[in-house]
Amino acid sequence: MKVSSLVQPLFDELAAAMDAELMPKVIDLLVEIAQHLIERNDKARAVEILSLALLYPMRALTLDLAESLYNDLESELCPRVMTDARDLAELLTLEDMVRLLIAEHAE
C-alpha cells in the first residue's frame, strides 16, 4: 500500500503514538488512514482497519466516524470481504495491525 506523501505524517504519528502507547491517538489515526484508503478506492483494506479499530474503545467523535465509514463500506462491499475483515480483526492485535501498516507503507 503506497500512500501519497501527503499521508506520510499520519504514519509518522502512528508510529510515535504506538511507541508512546497512546491508544486513543492510535485509534484516531487508524480511522483517518482508513478514510484515506477509501478515498484511494482501497476499500477492502480500509474495512480491515475499521473492523479492528471498532473492537477498541475510542473517542465519541472517532467512533461516529468509524461506524459511519464501516456502515458505508458494508453497503458497498460484498459480504465475503466484510466477513474476511471481521475474521482478520479477530486474529490481529492492534499492535500487529500498526506494524503491518507501517511495514506496508515503507515498501
pTM exceeds 0.85 = yes
Handedness of CA 3, 40, 16, 92 (dihedral sign): negative
pLDDT for 5 equals 56
The model's pLDDT over 56-73, given as tens digits with 9 standing for 90+, comes to 999 999 999 999 999 999
Q: Residues 3, 105: contact at Cβ < 8 Å?
A: yes
Residue boundaries of the structural domains of the chain: 5-106
Nearest Cα to 73, choosing from 48, 101, 100?
48
Block residue for cell numbers 504519528: 13
